[in-house]
Structure formats: C-alpha cells, structure tokens
Amino acid sequence: MPIEFRKNQALFTEVVSVEDAEGLLEWLQKKPGARIDLSACMHLHPANLQVLMAASVAIVAWPADAAFTGWLRSALAAPP
C-alpha cells in the first residue's frame, strides 16, 4: 500500500496511484484535520492531490525532491 494510514496521519510512500484516491478520500472524510507526511513520496497521481487540496490537509513533511515539492507547495501550502 503506498499510503500508510495511521491514527491521525497518513504517510505517502513511493508512487501513490490513481486507485489509492478512493481510499484516501474515504479516510479523510472520516478524519478531518488529518495530517500528511509526504517525505517518502516520489509521485502521486493527481486524483490524490485533488483530494488533499479539497480537504485542505496540513502537510507535516515535504518530499525530498525539491522540484516535486515546488509543484506540491503551489497546490497545498497554506496561504501565507
């Protein structure tokens, strides 16, 4: 599973695929205010990204790849 769901935090690892979006959405619906750790994520299908954006989740850690983080920050970073 590329997403590890913990108590109140989800850990994204490797490549999160389109099939994972459904589960992510369900989980977030149950856990408002959940936090996401992207540090081990290499790529995520935009279906997942949409879910994260819509849920306005808090990101606790960004990916190692700076360019990838750049993309994600533009979509997920809380407005200053």
State the DSSP H helix or E strand holding residue 38, giving kind and residue range, or none if neither.
Answer: strand 35-44
Strand residue runs (E) in 1-80 = 3-5, 9-16, 35-44, 58-61
Using CB under 8 A, pick the residue from 5, 9, 25, 35 that binds another protein: 25
49 binds another protein (CB under 8 A): yes
3 binds another protein (CB under 8 A): no
For residues 68 and 27, give the distance between their C-alpha atoms in angstroms, rounded to a whole number.
Answer: 24
- Where in 55-74 is the site for another protein (CB under 8 A)? 55, 67-68, 70-72, 74
State the DSSP H helix or E strand holding residue 23, giving kind and residue range, or none if neither.
Answer: helix 20-30
Contacts to another protein by CB under 8 A: 18-19, 21-22, 24-25, 28-29, 32, 43-51, 53-55, 67-68, 70-72, 74-75
